[in-house]
Structure formats: C-alpha cells, structure tokens
Structure 1
Amino acid sequence: MAVKFFNLRDVPEREAEGVRQLLKQHAIEFYETPGSAWGISAPMIWLRNDADRERAGILLDEFQREFTAKARADYQALKARGELPGVWDLLRRRPLKATVYLALILLLAYVSLYPFHSFGH
C-alpha cells in the first residue's frame, strides 16, 4: 500500500530533485501527486511500498542533514562576499509583483482605518 513520504509544499526545486534522485539511486519505487490549483492539497512524494518507509526515512534524514549543511554554507559564503540579495534587490527583480503587493497593503490599511476617520467629525 502506498504511503505519504515527503511533502513538496514550499520545498525548493533543488531539494525536491535531490530527494527524487536519492530514491531512484536506492531503487525505492515512488510517485508524485501535484498540488491543487488553489493550494488546498499539497504536492507530495509517495512510496509505493510501505516496507520501504523505514529505509527511505533513514536515507532522507541523512540527505537533509547534508543538504541543510550545504545550504547554510552557501548562505554564509554569499554573506561573507557581500553578495546576499537585500530587500531592494528582491524588489528590483520583480517590480510588478512588488507594486501589486504594496498597493494591496495600502488598500487594506485604508479600508481598515477609514471607519476611524469619521469619529472625529
């Protein structure tokens, strides 16, 4: 019987691909289900055989320890070189998205605070 193994929601593609390769290298049968369009159900990696769960779990724990250590080392290297992107870099990379988010924040603030404006009059 199939068993849930790895939730792919908010997982970087590099990590997800590493998990897929890990399972393939160790001949563990798996399949993936996509997430829903509205984000209600998460994308998931499933193991086809429940008997593989313990072995796959041990392999995944080791993989994630290595992946986390590498990601932290990469982050520290970027930080040490001064190449870590800041808020302005992220805004410049996606100006339309940043503008839409800012407009939504301002609209929400206006709608939230407008009723209090009429108290003084």
Structure 2
Amino acid sequence: MAKLLLNLRHVSDDEAADVRAFLEANAIAFYETQPSRWGISNGGIWVEDNGQIAEAKRLMADYQKQRQARVRAEREQAVRDGSAETFADIVREQPLRVLLTLLAIVFLLALVALPVWLLHH
C-alpha cells in the first residue's frame, strides 16, 4: 500500500521538483496525486512500495535539513544587503490588503470584547 511522503499544501514548485528528482535519482517508485477541484485536497507525492518508505523518509529528512540551511543563509544574506522584504515594503506594495487586514483584526477584537462590554454596562 502506498504511503504519503509529501502533502503538497503550501509546497513551492521548486521544492516539489527537488523531491521528485531525489526520488527518481534513488530509484524510489512514487506517484503524484493532483489537487482536487474544490480545494479539499492539495495533492501529494506518494511512495508506492512500503519497503522503500524508510529510505524515502531518510532522504526527505536530509533534503529538508539542506534546504533549511540554504534558505536561512539566503534570508540572512538578504537582511545583510538590505534586499529582504520588510513590513514597510508590504505596505507600499499592497496598501489595500494591509488596511483590510488591520480592519479585520480590529473588528474581530471588538467582537470578542463586545460580551465583556455588554456585561459591564
């Protein structure tokens, strides 16, 4: 029976391609399911043979360690050279989104505080 190796929810295309590549390079049989039409499932990468799942998980753990180190180094370099995205950059690029998000936060806080306010008045 096949085992899920990677749920593709919030997985970038390059990461999924890397996983496919290391599975193919190590001759691990796998298949991929596509996202559902209504967004219930986001698809996944499945290892076909239960005998290969331990090796696939070991390779996945090694890959994730390497990717984490690389991405952290890239982020640190971006912070050092000033090219990292900041909150101010987001406000400049998407002011409406930031404003609507802040309004939603204020609305939800008010909604949570409403019962307390009503009980005291």
Same fold per TM (> 0.5)? Answer: yes
Instruction: Identify unmatched segments of 5+ residues in structure 2.
Output: none
Correspondence 1:26 to 2:19: no
Aligned 1:85-96 pairs, distance under 5 A: 85-96=85-96
> TM-score of the superposition, structure 1-length normalised?
0.77
Match of 1:57 in 2: 57
Match of 2:72 in 1: 72
Aligned-residue identity in percent: 30
Counterpart Cα distance in 2 of 1:100 and 1:21 = 41
Cα deviation digits, residues 60-102 of structure 1 (max 9, x gap): 2222222111111101111111221111212333334323322
Counterpart Cα distance in 1 of 2:64 and 2:95 = 33
Counterpart Cα distance in 2 of 1:96 and 1:21 = 40
> In structure 2, do the counterparts of structure 1 residues 110 and 86 end up closer, same or farther at CA, with 3 Å as the change threshold?
same
> In structure 2, do the counterparts of structure 1 residues 113 and 59 end up closer, same or farther at CA, with 3 Å as the change threshold?
closer
Q: Give the letter aligned to residue 103 of structure 1.
A: L
**RMSD (Å), alpha carbons:** 2.5
- What SS is found at the alignment partner of 2:6? strand
Q: Give the letter aligned to residue 109 of structure 1.
A: L
Counterpart Cα distance in 2 of 1:57 and 1:26 = 12
Dislocated runs of 4+, deviation >6 Å:
none
> In structure 2, do the counterparts of structure 1 residues 16 and 96 end up closer, same or farther at CA, with 3 Å as the change threshold?
farther
- What SS is found at the alignment partner of 1:78? helix
Counterpart Cα distance in 2 of 1:43 and 1:92 = 34
Q: Give the letter aligned to residue 44 of structure 1.
A: G
Aligned 1:104-115 pairs, distance under 5 A: 104-115=104-115
